[in-house]
Amino acid sequence: MRSLRTGVIFCSCNNAIKLDFDRLKQIIQERYHPETIILSKTLCLGNEKENLLKMLNEQNYTRILIAACSENIFQGIFPQNILVPSETILEVVDLQEECKPHSSELGLTKAVAMIGASLFKLEKLKPLDKIQQEIEAPVAVIGNGVSLLRVVENLYNLGIRILVISPGTIEETTHPEAGTNNYAGTRVKLKQKFQKAKKVEILEQINDVHVSGHIGEFHVQTHKGEEITTHTAGLLVFASDGEEYKPLDLSQYGYGRFEQVKTLGEIYGELQEIKTLQDQNIIIANCIGSRDETLGRPYCSAYCCDQGINLARELTLKGANVTICYMADVRSLFFKEEEYRQARMDGVEFLRAGLGDVDADTGSDRLKVTIEDTLSGKILEKCADKVILSCALLASNFLRDVAQRLELEIKDGGFLKELYSKLKATETKLPGVFVCESVVQPLPLAELLKSADAVAFKVLKSLQTKYLRTNATAQVNKDLCVGCELCVKYCPRQAINTIMEDDQLKVEVDTTICYGCALCQTLCLTGAIQLVNYEDEMLTGQIKVAIDAWKSLTSTPLIMNIACRECGYCAINHGHLSGIEIPEHTLTFQVPCAARVSPLDLLTTLNMGADAVLVISCPEENCHMQKGSHIARLHVKFVKNILQQIGQNPNRVEIAQLCAAEADKYTSTLKALEAALEGS
Ligand code: SF4
Ligand code: SF4
């Protein structure tokens, strides 16, 4: 191991960063004594870049600090194991975003504090290895219906081994559109094809599925009657179409009492057989059982406006007079506006009306239907030959139960929570567990097929790119471990196991599973378990160096931001990039997960001189480390209580839980924190 040689490089980004770099160089040299400080103007470009790389290689620096702009630029330019010796570690301080917008004096103070803290960290950092983990098939696809068949078809065409697990039969679907010509029939043919395929194993009529393990090695236990079988899978996919609600509990609509009252799915199943509906009056009522808080289904079922319109046009072709009663609006989603226009031209009547009671019409075999016109407020009575109920799409209870045991989040109506509704709609917070969008929200069949294609693509990408991780995991000092098992109980990945050593209970970490959230570290009262490069003294040491520098150069109050490296840090960066005005007297430290910040860290930071601490984490329901954001909130609450007990302002600690795009929420929390401090 060579002795540490630290080189510091400043770059002014072609003078875009308005700092007094000569003065900065002098202060850094006097305070922290790095081997070399180099000033550069355009470090990322041309000769300057080449000369620097050459010089760094020749002079054998083991630690390099670049104080310039975005870390991403320099991580690309200085790939650690290629251009510089393998134990060389690179740190980047983003002066561009952190210091540029501020007055020169405060900008300089921030630069000194951040560079000082990074130099402290550089001295202590241990080199990390990047480990590529192979992910091997089979891919377990759990569920049923059109979406499952489409996922399996895609994977089968790609030659991937698949384990298909279904609570019923794989081709069975209860999606209301399944009876349309487009889908009926093809499901059975697909199943027959898969049954003959060597790379597809099908398990049907499964009562329950229990999953444990992690990406690359999921243990999937299937229960069928008394028989329990265990399988392994590299990745998991949840795929199901949703289920049409049968409104037996809404007896006023006559469903189950009159054979002329059917659901939309049931009518689709019978449509082929109906030759004529000449002069029949048919009422289609939308949103039955959905968009209704009282039923616990506030969501729009997304298919019924369009399918109601399609159905109405088909019924009109057979000679019927059709009225569609819609609740508040007609949602022609997914570019279906033209169908709506055509339906009106075909003579379909649209009424903004709520369906009331459906009863037998005395003296005829028709139905007497009460309708409340919500535009005029009038109660209308109509005679109908048929009433068709466009009902809510329900989530799969089977998949909900499997997902709940995996500690995946469940949303309104029992749908699963995706990682991000816009950017990562087919992923979950568990690496290696994918979802068809129909499992996270109701979807029409055409959209559901697109989602199934997207899932197959994600699966393929995961199998091809391998899973990259570092050895930045928790490690146990067994001499300090007292075997309390607190860490075992709360580890979100079940990565900690108990062992007996000299008749004493100890723990050890399975580093192939640990994803470095540091939750165990904050819970461990003896300090026995620590995350590599985020050890207690490492974080406290950096914060202390930064606060000392700040306090020695300015009397401006200091708010210490401690942000998780997922949503928290991204939101701050997003704020800088989008030009939002951000209160300037802050310093930011990044941690893998907000749970890493223990109550002791918060109190120590205040005690060392910070005027306030703002913890910035993911939203609890989207926490990348599952429980981290929740634990962070509890820590902040706990410290607020302590501050109150000792007569200090509890508002000196705060938490902002936000997603990466919510820079405005970050700044508003910061401003509220400032105001609270000023008022105290
Ligand atoms: S919390 Fe700490 S002391 Fe308790 S078992 Fe885990 S490592 Fe050991
Ligand atoms: S760092 Fe997180 S995942 Fe790793 S052992 Fe600790 S609690 Fe478990």
pLDDT grade for 88, boundaries at 50, 70 and 90: low
Q: Can you give the pLDDT at residue 137?
A: 87
Nearest-CA residue for ligand 1 atom 6 is 487
pLDDT > 90 fraction of the chain, expressed in percent and rounded: 47
Q: Tokens representing 369?
A: 């239907």
Cα of 508 to ligand 1 centre, how many Å? 9
In terms of Cβ atoms closer than 10 Å to its own Cβ (0-12, 13-18, 19+), residue 5 is middle
The residue length of the chain stands at: 680
Cα of 596 to ligand 2 centre, how many Å? 10
Nearest ligand atom owner, CA of 476: 1
Q: Can you give the pLDDT at residue 293?
A: 84
Cα of 203 to ligand 1 centre, how many Å? 41
pLDDT tens digits, residue range 316-362?
999 999 999 988 777 766 566 778 888 888 899 998 988 999 999 88
Q: Is 277 left (phi over 0), alpha (psi -120 to 50) or beta?
A: alpha
pLDDT grade for 565, boundaries at 50, 70 and 90: confident
Q: Can you give the pLDDT at residue 550?
A: 95
Q: Which atom of ligand 1 is nearest to the CA of 527?
A: 2
Q: Which atom of ligand 1 is nearest to the CA of 496?
A: 6
Q: Does the structure show a pLDDT above 90 at 95?
A: no
Q: Tokens representing 311?
A: 């159905």
Q: Does residue 524 line the site of ligand 1, with CB under 6 A? A: yes
Q: Does residue 491 line the site of ligand 1, with CB under 6 A? A: no
Cα of 468 to ligand 2 centre, how many Å? 17
For the chain, list the domains and their CATH numbers: 1-127 (3.40.50), 139-242+395-465 (3.50.50.60), 246-392 (3.50.50.60), 474-531 (3.30.70.20), 535-680 (3.40.50.960)
Q: Can you give the pLDDT at residue 2?
A: 46
Q: Which mutation among 475, 480, 491, 526 tests ligand 1's pocket best, with the greatest number of atoms within 8 A of CB?
A: 526
Q: Does the structure show a pLDDT above 60 at 87?
A: no
CA geometry: angle 162, 163, 164, nearest 5 deg: 110
Specify the range with the lowest mean pLDDT, choosing from 171-180, 436-445, 550-559.
171-180
pLDDT tens digits, residue range 155-182?
999 999 999 999 999 988 888 887 765 6
Q: Does the structure show a pLDDT above 60 at 534?
A: yes
Q: Which amino acid is at 324?
A: I
Q: Which atom of ligand 2 is nearest to the CA of 494?
A: 8
Nearest ligand atom owner, CA of 507: 1
Cα of 494 to ligand 2 centre, how many Å? 8
Strand partners, 92: 66
pLDDT grade for 284, boundaries at 50, 70 and 90: very high
C-alpha distances out from residue 544 to 31, 540, 589, Å: 14, 6, 12
Q: Does residue 519 line the site of ligand 1, with CB under 6 A? A: no
- State whether the Cα torsion 659-665-671-676 is positive or negative: negative
pLDDT grade for 72, boundaries at 50, 70 and 90: low
Peptide bond into 138 cis (omega under 30): yes
3-state secondary structure 305-344: HHHHHHHHHHHHHCCCEEEEEECCCCCCCCCCHHHHHHHH
Backbone φ and ψ for 326, nearest 5 degrees, come out as: -110, 155
Q: Which mutation among 488, 520, 529 tests ligand 1's pocket best, with the greatest number of atoms within 8 A of CB?
A: 529
Q: Can you give the pLDDT at residue 303?
A: 83
pLDDT > 70 fraction of the chain, expressed in percent and rounded: 92
3-state secondary structure 386-449: EEEEEECEECCHHHHHHHHHCCCCECHHHCECCCECCCECCECCCCCEEECHHHHCCCCHHHHH
Cα of 118 to ligand 1 centre, how many Å? 30
Q: Can you give the pLDDT at residue 126?
A: 83
Q: Can you give the pLDDT at residue 85?
A: 41
Q: Can you give the pLDDT at residue 100?
A: 61
pLDDT tens digits, residue range 4-46?
678 888 888 888 888 889 999 999 999 999 888 888 888 777 7
pLDDT tens digits, residue range 606-623?
999 999 999 999 988 778
Q: Does residue 528 line the site of ligand 1, with CB under 6 A? A: yes
Q: Which residues does ligand 2 sit against, CB inside 6 Å?
A: 473-474, 491, 493, 495-496, 509, 514-520, 531
Q: Does residue 505 line the site of ligand 1, with CB under 6 A? A: no
Q: Which atom of ligand 1 is nearest to the CA of 485?
A: 5
Contact (CB, 8 A) for 339 and 320: no
Q: Can you give the pLDDT at residue 295?
A: 85
Q: Which atom of ligand 2 is nearest to the CA of 493?
A: 3
C-alpha distances out from residue 191 to 183, 338, 588, Å: 13, 35, 55
pLDDT grade for 368, boundaries at 50, 70 and 90: very high
Nearest-CA residue for ligand 2 atom 6 is 520
Q: Does residue 482 line the site of ligand 1, with CB under 6 A? A: yes
Between 679 and 596, the more confident residue is 596
Which whole number is the average pLDDT over 396-408?
A: 89
Q: Can you give the pLDDT at residue 608?
A: 96
Q: Does the structure show a pLDDT above 50 at 522?
A: yes
Q: Does the structure show a pLDDT above 80 at 630?
A: yes
Q: Which mutation among 476, 477, 480, 487 tests ligand 1's pocket best, with the greatest number of atoms within 8 A of CB?
A: 487
Q: Does residue 55 line the site of ligand 1, with CB under 6 A? A: no
Q: Can you give the pLDDT at residue 281?
A: 94
Q: Does the structure show a pLDDT above 70 at 680?
A: no
Q: Which of 322, 311, 321, 324 is nearest to 279 (CA)?
A: 321
pLDDT grade for 81, boundaries at 50, 70 and 90: very low
Instruction: Assign 459 to helix, strand or coil.
Output: helix
Q: Can you give the pLDDT at residue 84?
A: 41
Arithmetic mean of pLDDT over the chain: 86
Q: Does residue 509 line the site of ligand 1, with CB under 6 A? A: no
* DSSP assignment string, 208-231: EEEEEEETTEEEEEEEETTEEEEE
Nearest ligand atom owner, CA of 527: 1
Q: Does the structure show a pLDDT above 50 at 597?
A: yes
pLDDT grade for 627, boundaries at 50, 70 and 90: confident
Nearest-CA residue for ligand 1 atom 3 is 481
Cα of 537 to ligand 1 centre, how many Å? 18
Q: Can you give the pLDDT at residue 541?
A: 96
Q: Which atom of ligand 1 is nearest to the CA of 483?
A: 5
Q: Can you give the pLDDT at residue 204?
A: 96
Instruction: Assign 566 to helix, strand or coil.
Output: coil
Q: Which amino acid is at 344?
A: R
Cα of 507 to ligand 2 centre, how many Å? 12
Q: Is 556 left (phi over 0), alpha (psi -120 to 50) or beta?
A: beta
Q: Does residue 507 line the site of ligand 1, with CB under 6 A? A: yes
Q: Which of 523, 527, 541 is nearest to 597 (CA)?
A: 523
Question: Is the overall model pTM greater than 0.85, yes or no?
Answer: no
Q: Does the structure show a pLDDT above 80 at 280?
A: yes
Q: Does the structure show a pLDDT above 50 at 83?
A: no
pLDDT tens digits, residue range 470-516?
667 899 999 999 999 999 998 987 889 999 999 999 999 988 778 88
Cα of 476 to ligand 1 centre, how many Å? 8
Cα of 368 to ligand 2 centre, how many Å? 64
Cα of 272 to ligand 1 centre, how many Å? 67
Q: Does residue 14 line the site of ligand 1, with CB under 6 A? A: no
Q: Which atom of ligand 2 is nearest to the CA of 516?
A: 1
Q: Does residue 487 line the site of ligand 1, with CB under 6 A? A: yes
Specify the range with the lowest mean pLDDT, choosing from 127-131, 197-201, 208-212, 439-443.
127-131
Q: Which mutation among 515, 596, 625 tests ligand 2's pocket best, with the greatest number of atoms within 8 A of CB?
A: 515
Nearest ligand atom owner, CA of 479: 1
Q: Which mutation among 488, 509, 624, 630 tests ligand 2's pocket best, with the greatest number of atoms within 8 A of CB?
A: 509
Cα of 626 to ligand 1 centre, how many Å? 20
